[in-house]
Amino acid sequence: MKDYKQLAMEIVKHVGGKENIISLTHCVTRLRFQLKDESKADDEILKNMDGVVTVMKSGGQYQVVIGNHVPMVYADVCEVAQIHAGDHTDQPKVKKKPFDMLVDTVSGIFQPILSVLSAAGMMKGLNALCLAMGWYSAGSGADVLMTTIGDAMFMFLPVILGYTSAIKFGLKPFVGLVIGAALCYPAIQASTLAGAGEPLYTLFTGSIFESPVYLTLFNIPIITMDYTSTVIPVILICYLASKVEKGFNKIIPDLLKFFFVPMFTLLISLVIGFILIGPIATYGSNIIASGIMQVRSFSPMIAGALVGGLWQILVVFGLHWGIIPIYINNIATLGFDNVMLPFFGGSFATTAVVVAMMIKTKDKKLKQLCIPASISGFFGVTEPAIYGILLPKKKPFMLSCIAAALVGGFYGLFNLREFAMGGLGIFGFTTLIDPVTNSFDNMYVGIIGAVAAMILGFVFTMLFWKDDTKEVVVEASVKPTELLNKEIILAPIKGVVLPLSKVEDCAFSQGILGKGLAIEPEKGEVVSPVNGTITTLFPTYHAIGITSDSGIEVLIHVGMDTVQLEGKYFHPCIKQGDQVHAGQTLLTFEMDQIKNAGYSLLTPVVITNTADYLDVMETGLENKEEFLTIIR
């Protein structure tokens, strides 16, 4: 990758230095500075600088036009000017409900690790299958090795999520990694401390908030929990750390930042995290456990429905630990558990929902994710399905919870019991056999419930989940034509075709970004002008970059200064990296709303790698379907 550090240093210098920069964002082709004093910027030097196309001033912004590689230049400018990239990108700031924000954040953090998470889940399932078939015995070298490979991802999940959370929040990635590692450190785990000796004292003895205290910090009690395999604690601490790091970057001198910013960031965020998150999670778990026991005292069926329906939600928040001690204690003292077991149908409901989505969706990438997620789900490993598929789509997650709740109520009504802590998923059925009477009746209840969970999850998804992936039907009339040394680019928007000179933005009108045409839209829909790949989908959705299968780079920029809308009124139908066909809908936009907001809809369509070709002919003025002709 080309290094733009020198260019970034020159840009920062000639916009008046980092002290003159209030904020910095970027769109698809230009850096957008908000400066304290624009008179301090040297327009002529910037315009004549290698790597800078031109300079523009518009809408209170000082714009340095770079070209398609602006994200790389932007990253280097942020580093040089010590601007926090995570807080200064042009992300759409559409108001969302708190739950939606949490779901979007969690699923975004999991996105980079889904393939490895699915692989780990399949390894756990494969190990369980090998043990069940007797191919090797429990505790053998093969079992230990397979368990290590399968469990490592889940055991040290906070370490991995610390890294991806840091990237999400704009924190230095290795700071996030250390935060996750600290949460997994053996000496801080509640189970380790409990096994090491008696607590120093116990808080709130006799209440649901009873908490043994093994550690203190200057007499402040540290109420611990088992952080391994958890999700929410590391995300919360990394979010806090991103704010702490940003604050210290402002006040610590440049000479000392390299060491002291990460040191203070780790110290403050982890101390606050351990002191606050432990108690919050512990007390939340205790309240839930107490509530379930209270409900069970008068209605086992309702309690079962609560456990079944809420279990996956509790796992996401790490609050399921409040019920697990009840489960362990019941098996140890009574020989069975019937309080926590109603969650048993949840993995089957989740698996069936994923299978239904795999059948129903037209999204090839989603289908690919569904296959390993459903396989690991049958073995009771549902993390790949929950975090990679159900949570991002939201409705399927709720449908799986509803199916699990109904089956949980069934299990509660028929008093389903588990007699040993054993396998998950299909391998959990053997733990339902009564060891005293050798009766299979209890196991039959478990099997009936599991089948019901799968049927309900599958049917609910087929009936109530709508796949938003549009099926692409490409007719012969919309296929790009390649004849010897020319290629046709089709019009991406229906409307009046105009020369680029009619565009007010000189970066387009002067052909700085490449040759092309402009369209005054008559319909709020953008279709692909070529067969190719979406190489750029800007977060505010106003601009799309497509590279054709033959290498032509097409930029479609809907409207003028519409980046300021921050995604409002734009509705993408594709994702960056998607393969598309000519004529496929890429984006819809609300024309009237955008016009009423005061923005022009005149849309430039340019070939950004014009220099790679002999000529780009503007055929669209005469033929609205054959928009541009590329001469090789």
Q: What is the pLDDT of residue 471?
A: 47
Residue 359 domain flag: no
- The reply to whether 338 falls in a domain is no
Q: What is the dihedral of CA 230, 235, 236, 242, to 10 degrees?
A: 150
Domain boundary residue among 34, 68, 88? Answer: 88
Task: Report pLDDT for 613.
Answer: 74
Domain of residue 515, CATH code: 2.70.70.10
Distance of alpha carbon 243 from alpha carbon 17, whole angstroms: 24
How is residue 182 written in tokens? 């600290």
Spell 124-155 as b/e; 16+ CB within 10 A means b.
bbbbbebbeeeeeeeeeeebeebbeebbebbe
SS3 content of the chain, % helix, strand, coil (to 5): 55, 15, 30
Contact yes or no for 224/189 (Cβ under 8 A): yes
Residue 181 counted as domain residue: no
Over residues 13-66, the pLDDT tens digits come to: 999 998 888 888 776 677 888 888 888 899 888 888 888 877 887 656 788 888
**Of the residues 72, 88, 104, the one at which a domain ends:** 88
Strands 543-548 and 585-589: unpaired
* CA-CA-CA-CA torsion sign (200, 203, 206, 210): negative
Structure-token pair, residue 539: 């977060």
* Total Cβ atoms within 10 A of residue 290: 15
Residues of the chain with pLDDT under 70: 1-3, 27-28, 58-60, 68, 84-100, 103-104, 318-323, 325, 332, 422-423, 469-485, 614-615, 618-625, 632
User: Which pair of tokens denotes residue 328?
Assistant: 């362990």
As given in the structure block, the two tokens for residue 173 are 């990635």
> Which DSSP string corresponds to 254-318?
HHHHHHHHHHHHHHHHHHHHHHHHHHHHHHHHHHHHHHHHHHHHH-HHHHHHHHHHHHHHHHHHT
Tens of pLDDT along 118-133?
788 778 778 878 887 8
pLDDT tens digits, one per residue of 471-506: 444 343 344 444 346 778 888 998 888 888 888 887
List residues bridging with 202 in a β-sheet.
Answer: 212
CB 318 within 8 A of CB 237: no
CB 369 within 8 A of CB 388: yes
Q: The CATH number of the domain where 82 resides is what?
A: 3.30.1360.60
Rounded CA separation 207/195 (Å):
23
378 close to 353: Cβ distance less than 8 angstroms: no
Residue 588, in any domain of the structure = yes
What integer pLDDT is reported at residue 321 of this predicted model? 60
pLDDT at 357: 95
Q: Give the separation between CA 472 and CA 580, rounded to whole angstroms.
A: 9
**How many domains does the chain fold into?**
2
**Beta strands per DSSP E along 484-531:** 486-490, 495-499, 515-521, 525-527
pTM for the whole structure: 0.55
Q: Domain for residue 24, yes or no? A: yes
**Has residue 154 been placed in a domain?**
no
> Is 67 within the bounds of a domain?
yes
Alpha-carbon span 377 to 298, nearest angstrom? 33
Residue 59 structural domain: 5-88
Query: Torsion angle of alpha carbons 470, 474, 480, 481, nearest 10°?
Result: 170
Q: Which of 8, 3, 137, 186 is nearest to 83 (CA)?
A: 8
Please report whether residue 518 resides in a domain. yes
Could you say which of 88, 115, 132 is where a domain stops? 88
Active site residues: 27
211 closest CA partner among 221, 197, 220: 221
